[in-house]
A and B are shown apart, each in its own frame.
Chain A
């Protein structure tokens, strides 16, 4: 038996200090990762009074990444969430959309793209519905770079958002529905960290975030950009990209941006979560907005003209603040021109 998560903790408190929700929501309203994942499961009857806390987690995994005992805290938080059931309006809407369309959001976009090739570009529900320009731009850019990229006629949600709300059976069903479509590709590329992680978990082919694809497959030597008007950009590190897919992706992002004359990457005071994950944008919209505002303010303080985020979830949530332009990194890149 693997030891249980609540047995591995040495009470250093690092996870509590690292949690971005704990920083803005007062104890005991939000109880923090250690309480939710480690301490609370040891209680019995008291558990009825923890209900909101697990649902407030943005699944940013900051807690887990600093834990010296390397406990799977986010997974345990999700387990607690499943224990209490899906109680949000947003969650119910998502499930009804899945039943109707196989997507969490009704399909809206029509992309101009080949429908077969070797590199499958997976748009993802949010990409399709909220940042279609990033998807279209990515496809155009990859075609321009000589890639055999295509978007299949039909595709379904990767299941990632449903896993976050504990809807296990839907996740399995979607995986089944997608398997025939995705199985034929040589490689899958997405602009969404959630899709990358979720699809890779169940796939034998490489599923790459577009940054990985650009850097590792296309390689920097072929990515030579024309210079642009000087601009200061704050590069936001999406939680699900850095901690689920891997921190190397942000190194790639920095290197790519660094190679573009005119673009200056500005450091923000701290790394942080935008509040866009874990379904809290629908369950606790005020809190999600508060977190996004902290990021935007930090970018403004640092002197940024624009925030770039290589994740559609972050883009959507950061845009709600409205004080600063927010762009999907992929979309930003596709608007630049490459040297031929």
Chain B
């Protein structure tokens, strides 16, 4: 028996912020697009806070596709005017990031209680209050509550009880909580806000729900505009003839799937998500096909680590280059897989999404 075949115009390996942004743009332009992803994306373990370059006209284009669709999903994401445009969800400025200078404190009222939940490592109220005082001069009150009642998607009815606690037992008007529900929307937060009559702010912590929710939002939008998501399917090899790639092989559990495409986009992320791998002190392409190099970068003191972080796929006019130096005309790497784009050196989600957005013409050209 031969493996099943998926036939699309554009095949994107890697379903993080970069892959899903480009996929959604191409699908809404009418192309047949499939995105394969395997394991967690860096996007899903980030804090989900996005910084955009203020001057970039692509921000508006991006927003016209995504933002309305985010809003219809009760995401609470919005574009904020800043020196750099930040897209944030309700309350993101506080966050466990504590002192990150790129975010202003946007809450109008400074009458704040930070509520930690015992056993939840996401938000440490003492630590958050200490940092709020040190960095912003805000005297917030740290409080701790025990884990129950605590709402999750599965036990919605606790929202009411939690709202009562916030309303009756806490005098402050703004209340900061740890990430509150695994629900892909912020509906619970809104409900809590309505029921308690308080301003409820959720901490945006890494390795936790906010990033996961942002990922789910992107996936939702992608599916809505017609992208075919092939989850848990991993790109294991690419067949290349001359200067063109014509087939990709995916693993799906114990089977394989063949993908035929006109253009192949690689959006498999960096060292954190396995789009790149390490070999000794160097960084390599785990598929062992493409050339990896590094760029001059700043932002990390250690030169060895900086070098590794700034490593990524080499490109020529947006196209990938093999280890032998052949430019493959229809393989386009995007996102943090590219050199110099990894988070502590680059801008993270914002940059990754805008650059992915802007690579659409290159992909069209390759079709």
Contacts and interface: CB of A to CB of B under 8 A. Distances in A.
**A and B directly contacting (CB within 8 A):** yes
B252 interface: yes
Contacts of A206: 1
A70 B252 contact: no
A14 B272 contact: no
Interface stretch (A45-53, A83-91, A245-253, A303-311): A245-253
Contacts of B272: 10, 12, 68
A246 B254 contact: yes
B121 to A, nearest CB: 9
A246 B153 contact: no
Interface string B199-235: 0000000011000000000000000000000111100
A270 interface: yes
B232 A242 contact: yes
A222 B29 CA distance: 34
From A200, A206, A269, A297, name the one whose CB has the most chain B CB atoms within 10 angstroms.
A269
B40 interface: yes
A334 B209 CA distance: 41
B4 A248 contact: yes
B156 to A, nearest CB: 9
A248 B254 contact: no
Contact of A70 (B45, B254, B274): B274
A216 B1 contact: yes
A270 B216 CA distance: 12
B207 A69 contact: no
B336 interface: no
A17 B212 CA distance: 11
A13 B182 CA distance: 15
Contacts of A248: 4, 233, 252-253, 255, 257
B34 to A, nearest CB: 11
Given A245-B253, A247-B252, A270 B39 contact: no
A87 B254 CA distance: 30
B88 interface: no
Contacts of A9: none
Nearest to B208: A17
A256 B232 CA distance: 20
A216 B2 CA distance: 9
B104 interface: no
Contacts of B154: 269, 294, 297-298
Contacts of B207: 12-14, 17
Given A245-B254, A246-B252, A247-B252, A217 B1 contact: yes
B253 A247 contact: yes
Given A10-B272, A206-B1, A216-B4, A246 B255 contact: yes
Contacts of A243: 232, 253
Contacts of A274: none
Nearest to B231: A247
A187 B231 CA distance: 28
B252 A14 contact: no
Contacts of A270: 153, 182
A156 interface: no
B255 A245 contact: yes
B39 A246 contact: no
A14 B40 CA distance: 8
B61 interface: no
A314 B182 CA distance: 24
Contacts of A187: 1
Contacts of A13: 207
A269 B187 CA distance: 13
Interface in A1-55: 10, 12-14, 17
Interface in A231-277: 242-249, 269-270
Contacts of A244: 253-254
A65 interface: yes
A65 B257 contact: no
B162 to A, nearest CB: 19
Given A206-B1, A216-B4, A243-B232, A68 B254 contact: no
B347 to A, nearest CB: 21
Interface in B29-50: 38-40, 42, 45
B364 interface: no
B183 A14 contact: no
A246 B253 contact: yes
Contacts of B39: 65-68, 70
Given A216-B4, A270-B182, A242 B253 contact: yes
A241 B9 CA distance: 29
Nearest to A64: B39
Contacts of B255: 245-246, 248
A200 B154 CA distance: 37
B40 A247 contact: no
Contacts of A201: 254
Nearest to B2: A216
A219 B165 CA distance: 57
Contacts of B273: 68
A203 to B, nearest CB: 11
Nearest to B41: A68
A23 B253 CA distance: 25
Interface of B: 1, 4, 38-40, 42, 45, 153-154, 182-183, 207-208, 230-233, 252-255, 257, 272-274
5 contacts: A68-B39, A68-B42, A248-B253, A270-B153, A297-B154
Given A68-B42, A269-B154, 19 more contacts: A12-B207, A13-B207, A14-B40, A65-B38, A66-B40, A68-B45, A68-B272, A70-B39, A206-B1, A216-B1, A242-B232, A242-B253, A245-B254, A246-B254, A247-B233, A248-B252, A269-B153, A270-B153, A297-B154
